[in-house]
Amino acid sequence: MSQQTTNGAAPSAPTGPRVARLILDGRELELPVVIGSEGETGLDIMQLRAKTGAITLDQGYGNTGACESSITFIDGERGILRYRGYPIEELAEKADFVEVCHLLIYGELPNAKELADFTSRLTRHTLLHEDMKKFFEGYPGGAHPMAMLSAMVASLSAYYSEDDELDLNIVRLLAKAITIAAFSYKKNIGQPFMYPRNELSYCANFLHMMHAVPAEPFTVNPVFARVLNLLLILHADHEQNCSTSTVRMVGSSQANLFASIAAGICALWGPLHGGANQAVIEMLETIRQDGSNYKKYVEMAKDKDSGFRLMGFGHRVYKNFDPRASILKKAAAEVLGQLGIQDPLLDIAKALEEVALHDEFFVSRKLYPNVDFYSGVIYRAMGIPTNMFTVMFALGRLPGWIAHWREMRDDPKTRINRPRQIYTGATERAYKPVSER
């Protein structure tokens, strides 16, 4: 099988319709070339199987575009991340998470009236149906909060109909997620649930529900609210990652919004995805208890037989630096400085990064710290327990998942997602009765 593009022009300056030619068993197929708004090139293989009988094989989908999307642009080589065209650095510095939710889901930053409206709706939908509170009682103490979050989000579909206006269900999901997340923490530590307070911002409201108790007044630390806003913005979308693809996959069967997002939450849970922030802190803690001998762990990560990886290092897409990690490294130092906290784990993280960035193994494989490397250190400083870190990631990623679900649903080209396979099992054989086996 051979493949070539007919012209070598730079994607930014196409001279006419481009096609790729694929020759299989002497038969040639022209594959239309699709160019994205940032010059990304894709080969449209929609006719491949019908015309040749062959499929593509791309384990882990590293070369497969599953959709066209106008939500988020990433250039992994240049360390670029933009939501709807806005650079992540600018949003991280200037925006409010609620604005970013509006931007991702509806395509534009809200004007003053839209923002006031959206904020007010998000505030007024934070209460859970009282019956849902009883669900928490059934969980054993110490249940992972991601188990509760995914189940509660799926359960929202038992309370809110698909026939309700979609915008209302979107607001319900964003608003109730912070309450569910905080309740899952309170359940674990055996404290009474704190109800949401409408005078607080989205981030402050969550922190209040997490850390306040009914016995005394509680003021949210504004540094915490600000840094949480930053963290949620940095996590808000990342195009076709594992959990977002899961949301689109489940949604492609026309499953409802809550069910599709619950599936995304489960996909996020794994340590190779959103669970990495928890794994990073656990790794740093292990190193600390081992006399802070970080060099030993760098060596272990290089030894394939050890089965050990440096958590928070490496990324399928970013091959130079993760722009979110750069922002968070700075934020971690600032926040800990402002709070006067000395965290030995931050020192270990910096030392580990320094060694790995100059080590041939990591340099040649383009392994750099990713977003999860520093986020855990900040969450720790905010008093968020380790098993809640992935929940925090999920809260941030909600608007991205919703935006993709909505885009998928509104795209007339959407078909149920159903990959093919190359079968490698036994060929046909006859059934033998058990007495002959």
Residues noted as catalytic: 315, 372
CA distance 231 to 236: 9
Measured distance CA(210)–CA(387) in Å, rounded = 14
**Burial status of residue 422 (CB atoms within 10 A of its CB: 0-12, 13-18, 19 or more):** exposed
Backbone angles phi, psi at 138, to 5 degrees: -75, -15
Query: How far apart (Å, rounded) are the C-alpha atoms in residues 246 and 268?
Result: 9
Name which of residues 350 to 379 contact ligand COA (CB under 6 A): 365, 367, 370-372
Q: What residue number has its CB nearest to ligand COA?
A: 314
Based on CB atoms, which residue is closest to ligand COA, 6 or 306?
Answer: 306
Toward ligand COA, which CB reaches closer, 118 or 368? 368
Nearer to ligand COA, 110 or 274 (CB): 274
By beta-carbon proximity to ligand COA, the closer residue of 187 and 315 is 315
What's the closest the beta carbon of residue 374 comes to ligand COA, in angstroms?
12
Binding residue for ligand COA (CB under 6 A) from 51, 129, 309, 350? 309
Q: Which positions from 230 to 269 touch ligand COA by CB under 6 A, shown as an x/- string?
A: ----------------------------------------
State which of positions 287-306 bind ligand COA (CB under 6 A).
301
Q: Which is nearer to ligand COA, 129 or 309 (CB)?
A: 309
Which residues inside 116-175 make contact with ligand COA, applying CB under 6 A?
none
- Strands 72-75 and 41-43, how do they pair? unpaired
CA distance 99 to 233: 10
**Which residue's CB is nearer to ligand COA, number 236 or number 311?**
311
- What is the C-alpha end-to-end distance of the chain, expressed in Å? 42
SS3 267: helix
Of 276, 335, 349, 381, the residue at the interface with ligand COA (CB under 6 A) is: 276
Instruction: Assess contact for 227 and 184: CB atoms under 8 A.
Output: no
Q: Which residues of 61-97 are buried (b: 16+ CB within 10 A; e: fewer)?
A: eeeebebebebbbbbbeebbbbbbebebeebbeebbb
Which residue in the set 46, 158, 189, 272 belongs to the binding site for ligand COA (CB under 6 A)?
272
d(CA 336, CA 242): 31
Nearer to ligand COA, 261 or 356 (CB): 356
**Which stretch in 63-71, 208-216, 307-315, 382-390 sits in contact with ligand COA by CB under 6 A?**
307-315
CB of 132 to ligand COA, least distance (A): 31
String of contacts with ligand COA for each residue 310-349, x by CB under 6 A: xxxxxxx---------------------------------
> Is 21 among the residues that bind ligand COA (CB under 6 A)?
no
β-strands 27-35, 41-43 pairing: antiparallel
Nearest distance from C-beta of residue 314 to ligand COA, angstroms = 2
| CA nearest to 322, candidates 367, 357, 380 | 367
Tell me the closest approach of the beta carbon of residue 273 to ligand COA, in angstroms.
6
Min. distance of Cβ 155 from ligand COA in angstroms?
A: 28
Stretch that binds ligand COA, among 33-41, 70-78, 144-152, 309-317 (CB under 6 A): 309-317
Query: CA 406, CA 400: separation in Å to the nearest integer?
Result: 10
Query: By the 8 A CB rule, do 422 and 57 touch?
Result: yes
Number of residues binding to ligand COA, judged by CB under 6 A: 16
Contact 31, 45 (CB under 8 A): yes
> What is the binding site for ligand COA (CB under 6 A)?
272, 276, 301, 309-316, 365, 367, 370-372
